[in-house]
Amino acid sequence: DDEKAERWGRWFEAWGRAKGAGKLVVREVNFSTNGLTSKGVKHILGVLRKLEAVVGCLKFWQNRIESTTEIVEFLHWNQGRLRELHLSHNRLDAAAARDVVVAVATVRDTDGKPCYPRLGAAPLWLRLELNPFNPKVLQGELLPALKKVGLSLHKAICEVDGKCLCNPGTCQRASPPPVHLTYLNMGGTSEGGSPALLAGSPTVSSAGGPAARPASFLLQQQRAAAAGKVPPTKA
């Protein structure tokens, strides 16, 4: 719960300062299934920022989180070092989910360059399924928000449905977007059943064509295409 998260934060801050602030590299912070609210998340992320910790994966799934304000601020502060963000099974509405997606799509480094996809190949792996919003409502929230920053749904999001070869380290699109949005077609609404967010948008199939090639091959194709050596593989 939030009280335990605060106790952990005090302990971790003391431990981290003993190690040396700015020197911590944390592979994963996992507070899943802990009854956290947004208050607990705020405390945890605040401690990580105080210590200037480099965090690879944040797991906050199956809690009672309703707001993503602190998470959005952390994403902008983190500047692309985060690889995975797990927020499924919480209490997020469509607006809160929208804010996370837009933050990932717009975060910039100190030179003003987009932070995602990382190294031009890996979108942030974002899990938002099984929150009490209808993906169609999220789609309606995202369309105008992304348009304001010059992006379409397809350019901002690769929806992972379990049938493609995308994973947290690689996107099989020739031009990966900032966000890997996972499994929203698996029933993430309180209304029973949820349509795929990008229904009607270009998708990647695991059956036949370039999409059936191994992810490692596709990553090689993407890098070669970026270097101008081969035509990009279409997704």
- Tens digits of per-residue pLDDT, 136-194? 899 999 999 999 999 999 999 999 988 888 999 999 999 999 999 998 863 332 333 33
Mean pLDDT, residues 129-134: 94
Mean pLDDT, residues 67-85: 96
What confidence score (pLDDT) does residue 197 get? Answer: 58
Q: Residue 30 above 80 pLDDT? A: yes
Mean pLDDT, residues 50-78: 96
Q: Phi and psi dihedrals of 74, rounded to 5?
A: -65, -40
Mean pLDDT, residues 110-125: 94
Question: Rg of the chain over CA atoms, in angstroms?
Answer: 18
| Residue 51: other Cβ atoms inside 10 A | 21
Domains observed in the chain: 2-206 (3.80.10)
CA–CA distance, 41 with 60 (Å, rounded to integer) = 8
For tokens 């927020």, the residue is 87
CB 129 within 8 A of CB 161: no
- Tens digits of per-residue pLDDT, 31-49? 999 999 999 999 999 999 9
188, with CB counted inside 10 A (0-12, 13-18, 19+), is buried
- Tens digits of per-residue pLDDT, 92-101? 999 999 999 9
Q: What is the pTM of this model?
A: 0.79
How many angstroms from the chain centroid is the CA of residue 48?
18
CB 233 within 8 A of CB 222: yes
3-state secondary structure of 196: coil
Q: Phi and psi dihedrals of 108, rounded to 5?
A: -125, 155
What confidence score (pLDDT) does residue 4 get? Answer: 92
Q: Which amino acid is located at 201 in the chain?
A: S
